[in-house]
Structure formats: structure tokens, C-alpha cells
Structure 1
């Protein structure tokens, strides 16, 4: 028998320990790279809600992939449930929402991504209802006479939906006075205030504290104030305020919690939204097409949203009011804000969001404030004529789709320096783009890669590390492009998979030309 020296076994042992240590270290690093954020959920509702009533949504997100939601405990078992995918909380057993028995219901929700999780506290405060003053059902008040008659009953609570006005009908209502509704404290479902031509204010709703679903205020051309909603603290779903022609501010709207979307749009006289300064939680924010809006101050308490969409606000000079925002989990969209020069107020946002959409901002010079964004599924930076580069996207390593279209001041793609993998990549109609520097680390385009109509582009040298294009490559109508040698590696690797289209450039080599080294003039 041949004996191995002791030093051999010692060496083998050391190698095994090294491999085991590095394997564990790699797993730990992979695990620590995933983070989960969860926000506590607090809401106040009337006792005895309806079965299936939506109470709101637990806000949770992750730096990679998606999160799931589960209830790990609740103070009264079986009272409510949560949607595992969306975090939406619904009533299961209305009988358990009895103020006399359970004035406060609590629970714990686990927001998880694999083994990484955070817990969110759920607290549901119940309001006591005087059963003698409850209107059970839905009511639509289309005229002042109908409103007066209904108000004479002095109802404090409506279990269903209340519509004030003609809503989506062609004609306006004749309602001018909501004071007969002064006893109203809560509405179990939606509240519509819509289609009232001469309604100047909301006097009469000054005792309203709770709306159990959506609140819509629209098509009230004489409305000047929403201050009468000063006691309203909770809207469990969306708050929509739009198409109110002379409404200039949100003063007095001291709301704390909006479970869904805050949508303020198409209010041509709206100057500011500072009246929202007491808002603490909101699912998403959409501020669109308010032509006179000059400030977003009022959102200082908001730290996280699912969607932030700011668009079509022609004289909005900056994003002041959003400087405390740290999390955007689904969509960031900034569009058609023609005085906006930067996004500096978003510099503390550290997110992995599904989509970044920055388009049609005539004065936007840079997007450097996005440098803490860790990942995005879709990136569209287009039609920003003053934007000089893409710096701010340097932490994005992979994406499903990336589009850079019609940015007339961009000269290169610096800012995409760490992008390695993308499914669809389009670079088109950037008239001063002379170089695609910034794509040096791009390795894989899974499906389609298009470079079209960039008249100043002369070479593709920055694609030297690209070795895979799964389906289509289209290099079209780049009138100064003479050097395509940056494609040698990918063509040698039998890419692209299906379609190779090169025409309308200063030089248009075939695959064979590139393989043979004839890749430039």
C-alpha cells in the first residue's frame, strides 16, 4: 500500500475549509443583498362594516423581486384577511367589528421575500355608531330638493355609497348647498361630489370623518374650497380631485390616511397643495395636468409610495415637498413638466422600482438624483431636449427594457456604465449622440437591440464586451456611422439569433464582412 504524506491531508483539509467558508460567505452576501421594507398600517373605520369591505393596503417592497404578505397574528381571530400578492386588507367577519366588544383590532403582517422579512403592525380603530341614525344602503341625490329631504333625517352614517350631483350625466345638478348634511359623520362606501355647476363650497360636510372606499370630487366648475372636509382623516381607497375649474388650493383638507391613490388632476387654477401637510400615509401619488401648480409642498410627511407620477404641470419649477421620500416601489414617472431642471428632491430615494419613465421635460438638465435607485424593469428616458447625459442610472445592472429616444443634447450614454443585461434596448433619434460610451459592460441583450436615426454616431466601439443578442439587431439610418467593429464579438458568437438588419448607415457591413474583419471604412 502506498501512503500519502501528512502534508497532503493537511493541504486537503485547508482547501475544504476555504471552499466551505467562501460558499457560506457567498450565500450570506446574496442574502444580505435583499432588503424588505414594511410600513405599519393604521386606519379608523365605523363599526359593523360590510363583509369583503377593503380597509386599505399594507405598504411593503423589496430591493429584488417581489414580496408576499401573510398575517401571523391578530387580536381577534378571523376578523380580517390579507391578499398575499397585493397586501390588501379585507373584512372577513363583520360581526367582530363591534365597538362595544372590540374597539381596537390589531394584528401583525409578515412582509417577506424568501427568508428575508419585516413585520408590519396593523391597528384598526372602530368608531361607535348610533344605530338610530344610520341610513342602510346607497343614495343618489341629484337635486337640491332631494338633498334637503334626505338631510332632514339627520343621518350620521350611511352604510353604502353617497352620490351628490349628476356624476357622469351630461347635465349639471342644481345643488348649491350641502348644509342639510351637517350631521353626517361617516360613509361606508364611495362618496361622489360631481356634476354640480353652482356648488361653491362643501359646507355641510364639516363633520365627515371617514369614507370607507373612494372619494371623488370632480366637475364642479364653481367649487373654490374643500376646507369644509377638515375633519376627514381617512379615505380607505382613492382620493380623486379633478376637473374643478376654479379650485386654487387644498387648504383645510387635513386628511391623514389615503389607502389607495391620491389623484389630483386637470384643475386649471390649482396653485398649491399645501393643505395636505397632515397627510401621513398614501398608496400612490398622481399629480397631473394642473397648469398653474407651482409647488408640491404638503407632502413632507410622506416617506414611501407605490407610484409617483408627476406630469403635465407646466409651471412646476421643482419637486420641493418630496424631499423626505425614500421609497418608490412600482413606478416613477416625471413627464411634461417644462420648467423642471432636475430631480434633486428625490436624491434619498433608494428603490428597486418596476419602471422609471422620464419623458417630455423640456428644461430637464440631469437625472443625477436617481443614483440610489438599485434596479428597474423598464427605463424610458425620452424627449428631454436639454438632458446632457444619463448619469443617475449608474447603479442599474439589469433591466427588462431600456429606451433612450429623442434627447437632442445627449452626446453619449454615460450613466449606463454598470448595465450588463437587458432584454430590449432601443437607442433612437438622438441627433447629437456621437458615441455610445457607457455601454462598455453590456454583455447580453436577450431579445432585441436597435440603434436608429442617430446622425452624429460614428462607431460602436463600446460594444466590445457584448457577446449575446438573442433575436434581433437593427442598425438603421445612422448617417455618420462608419465603424461597426464593436459587433465583432457578438457576431463571432453567432449573434444575433434571428434578424440582422443593417442599412442606411455610412457603412453597412454584412455578417460575413464583420467576421472577415471588414467592419469599418
Structure 2
């Protein structure tokens, strides 16, 4: 009996243990099946005009996955290197614009791999080119007012313009042009190059292949222009060079090779230009330079290789940081007008000692100039104006001046005490005005002239001493 019960309990124990194990297994979650990764894409096809520009967007290959994101890559393309792809977005861009030529490659193809590791799919990219009429020579003048017009004109691969090329708007309607690289095929312009009234253009890169311009080069009111570049093949300008109201312009890599300018150089209202070093190879200009309202120019030493200057107006006005004119010291020339006015930091005018004015000399409102010794070449003028030079002490340097065919005006020179320097004067055809020189006390330098010379009218007042014409003749000419 004992044996029976012992076996009975043993069987119950085995059964209960089996049941427990079975129940435990039944309560476990089932092992999940692994999700299959899928990638989907589709072939890409587009038609575009031939001759696009590098970086131009072509379109995007589509691709997606059920597991995260996909990446895009090009496995092959014909011709090689024609386009690139953004690995994240699938965006296609022109990589080598020279390959997008209808006559050479009417169709450009490539295989794009769309991947979500370890799965990938393939898409065929096909780019059909539209044949454009190419015009290597453009007859007459052309104005490009918008970026779209620049691109369209560049697509014709024009190499030669027989007239004038104007890039930008007219008057104050600023263009939206930002990029001149579509014009990279241009080689010759028979007329002028005007880059004017552009509000967004930062650089002139794209003009690298221009080797000759038959007329003027002008940059006017380009409000965002910082860099003139791409004109490094220009060594001679057959007209004038004009830079006016370019508020951010400071870099001139495009002008480093210029040796001659047939006409005038005008530099007006370019507040970021620091110097003229970018004209260091300039040797000859057909007319004198005109410089005004260039607030940061401190020197013109970059003109030190300039030796030849034609006749005309040499005008240096309203350049408040300009300290000297030494860059002109190698120029021997005759000019009609010498106008040096309102240059607040100008210490001397020694740089013009070899330049001879023949009609008008105006030295006005240069606060730091102390003498006029560089004017020893002046013999005869129509007008002489010496006004508002607060540090000027005398007129030495004008000793060779004999004849003034119109007016002589000396006024508002606050520290001028004598008229020493006018001893050679023999004729003032119209009026002599000596006004408002508050410390002027000695006019004896005029005694011989007023006694023996020819004078139209005598007007002296507002000075520290104001003798009459007869007083000076009689010797009562100083205090």
C-alpha cells in the first residue's frame, strides 16, 4: 500500500510539472517576423535647352523607402561628368556645361542608384537637349536687362559683338542680374562695355575670355558690386574708363594688365576704394584723371608708372582721406585745368610739379596745404583761384606766373599773411579779388604789378589789412 501511494504522488508531480511548463510556453509572445525593406524609384526624363551654365538645376530623381531614407548616387553616365546628383535629395545639376552641346551630345544619359541599405533600385536619367540657333557674331548694340536675358544671350555662344554691350538697366531701375558666367564665350566687343544700374551683381566673373573692347568701359551705379574680375586679358582701353557710384567696390583683379587708356579715367563716388594699386601697369592716358568723392582713398601711388597724360581737366576733388599726389610725380604733361579742391587730408601737391596747367588753376578748401611750390611751371592762365586753404602761409611757387587773361581770386585763406609769390605778375585782364583772408597784412608783392602792369579791376576787402590800389603804389602796402 505504501508503495502504491508513493508511486501515485510521483506520477502527480510529473504531471503537474509538465502542465506548468506547457502553460509557461503558451503564455510567451510569438517571435516577430523581420520586415522586408523596399525601395521605390522611377526613371527620370527631361528636355532642356543646350548650353546651360554650370550649377544649373536640371530636375530631381524620385526615390523612397519604407525604412528611413534613401541616398542617391550615379553609377555611370554618358558622356562622363556631365551632371552631378545631390546624395540626399536626388537633385541633378549641370557639372560640365561644355558637354551640353546639341551638336555633340543631343542626349545625355545616366544610371542613378537609389539605396536604403542593403537594398537598392536603379533609375535611368535621360536629358534631351534642344538645339538652339548659335550666333557667333551679333550685329549692332545689345542691352541685357535681366538675368534671364543674360542666360538666353549666352546660350547662343556669341563670341563677337559689333556694337555696344550694356549689362543692366537704365536710369534708376536696377536690374536683377546676379551672374555673368553665361557670357563666358564672349571674346570681342567693337563698341563700349557698360555695366550699369545693377542692384544685385556682386562680381563680373564670366568675362574672362574678352580680349578687346573698342570703346569705353564704364561701371556705374552697381550697388552690390564688390569685385571687377574676368577682364584680365584687357591691356588697352580704346576709349575711357569710368567707375562711378559703386558703393561696395574694392577689388580690381580685372584691371591689373591695363597699360593704356585712350581717353579719360573717371573715379567718382566709390567709397570703398582704398588706393589705385590695381592700375600699377598703367603707362599712358589720353586725358587726365578725374577723382571725386572717394572717401577712403589715402594715396594714388599705384599710378607711379604713368608717364604720359593728354591735355584736359586734371581734377582731384572731395577725397577727404587723400594725403598726397605722389603717384603723379613721373608725369610730365600739359593740362588745361588743374582742380585740387576739398581734400581735407592733403598735405602737399608735390606730385604735380611736372604738370603744367594752361587755363585754370583752382586750389580750394584743402585745409592742410602749406605752400604752392609745385606750381612753378605756371606762366599764363585764364583763371587762378586760391581759396579756403586754412594752412596756406604764402603764395610761393607762383613766382613764374605773369599773365591771367580773366580773373584772379585769393580768398578765405585764414592763415595767409603775405602775397609773396606774385612778384612776376604783369597782367590781370579782368578782376583781381583778394577777399576774406583774415590774417593778410602784407600786399607789397603787388606794388610793381599795380604800378607797371595791366589790371581790369581791383577788389580788396575783408582781410586784416585792406589798402587801396593807390596805397600799394605809394608804398603803404603792409602793417
Q: Give me the TM-score of the superposition, normalised by structure 2.
A: 0.67
Aligned to 1:92: none
Match of 1:441 among 405, 424, 432: 424
Shift of residue 234 of structure 1?
Answer: 2.1
Q: Are 1:186 and 2:160 counterparts?
A: yes
Shift of residue 520 of structure 1?
Answer: 6.3
Shift of residue 229 of structure 1?
Answer: 1.1
After TM superposition, what 4+ stretches of structure 1 lie above 4 angstroms from structure 2? Answer: 172-176, 513-521
Structure 2 residue runs without a partner (length 5+):
1-130
Aligned to 1:208: 186
Alpha-carbon contact 1:433-1:454 (below 8 Å) kept: yes
Shift of residue 176 of structure 1?
Answer: 6.6
Give the stretch that moved more between structures: 194-203 or 212-221. 194-203
Structure 1 residue runs without a partner (length 5+):
1-150, 166-171, 482-504
Number of aligned residue pairs: give it.
338
Per-residue CA deviations over 1:274-312 (Å, capped at 9, x if unaligned) read: 420121221221111011111212222222211211111
Q: Give me the TM-score of the superposition, normalised by structure 1.
A: 0.61
Aligned to 1:458: 441
Q: Are 1:303 and 2:288 counterparts?
A: no
Alpha-carbon contact 1:152-1:180 (below 8 Å) kept: no
Aligned to 2:219: 241
Aligned to 2:386: 404
Aligned to 1:154: 134
Q: Are 1:315 and 2:324 counterparts?
A: no
- Partners of 2:184 and 2:475 in 1: CA distance: 78
Distance 1:307 1:510, change over 3 A: closer
Match of 1:328 among 277, 290, 309: 309
Aligned to 2:454: 469
User: Counterparts in 2 of 1:75-224, with a 5 A limit?
Assistant: 152-165=132-145, 175=149, 177=151, 180-181=154-155, 183-195=157-169, 197-224=175-202
Give the stretch that moved more between structures: 467-476 or 263-272. 467-476
Aligned to 2:230: 252
Per-residue CA deviations over 1:449-499 (Å, capped at 9, x if unaligned) read: 111111110021112331323422211211x11xxxxxxxxxxxxxxxxxx
Per-residue CA deviations over 1:395-414 (Å, capped at 9, x if unaligned) read: 22222211111111111111
Shift of residue 194 of structure 1?
Answer: 1.1
SS of the residue corresponding to residue 294 of structure 1 reads: coil
- Partners of 1:337 and 1:519 in 2: CA distance: 37
Alpha-carbon contact 2:168-2:177 (below 8 Å) kept: no
Q: Are 1:417 and 2:399 counterparts?
A: yes
- Partners of 2:423 and 2:134 in 1: CA distance: 71
Per-residue CA deviations over 1:248-286 (Å, capped at 9, x if unaligned) read: 121222222222210011011011324201212212211
- Partners of 2:288 and 2:166 in 1: CA distance: 24
**Max radius of gyration: which structure?**
2
Q: Cα RMSD between the aligned structures?
A: 2.2
Alpha-carbon contact 1:366-1:391 (below 8 Å) kept: no
Aligned to 2:367: 385
